[in-house]
Amino acid sequence: MSDGLGWPVIAVLSVGIYAERAAGMFVLGPALRSERAMRVLAAVPVAVIAAVVALQTFTVGDRLAVDARVPGVVAAALAVWGRAPLAVAVVLAAVVTATVRALGWAA
């Protein structure tokens, strides 16, 4: 087993990640109370989630990649756009991605 994946690393990360969350909750959040700051903060989840979607759909490690996830996520987006239930969209994403892979159309 690599040292990089041992318990000391996990311990440091656990403390570090909690510190990040607590800093937002107890320091950054209370400090940003102006009307403008509140408006920007309300948009932060949209920016963060869009960024994570982009990463999880179009990247592998540190490079861009278009693979079978793309048609799956696009199918889910279309389903959501058509006001399909969340469960339908998520299952559709997995089915489309798995199918495209099984057919060998994309990695």
Map the footprint of another protein across residues 46-65, applying CB under 8 A. Answer: 46-59, 61-64
Segment holding 63, helix H or strand E:
strand 63-64
Phi and psi (nearest 5°) for 66? -110, 110
Asked if 105 interacts with another protein (CB under 8 A), we say: no
Task: List the one residue out of 50, 52, 98, 46 whose CA is nearest residue 75.
Answer: 98
Task: List the one residue out of 103, 68, 75 whose CA is nearest residue 89.
Answer: 75
Binding mask 18-47 for another protein (x = CB under 8 A): x-xxxxxxx-xxx-xx-xx-xxxxxxxxxx
The interface with another protein within residues 74-93 (CB under 8 A) comprises 76-77, 80-81, 83, 85-87, 89-90, 92-93
Asked if 66 interacts with another protein (CB under 8 A), we say: no
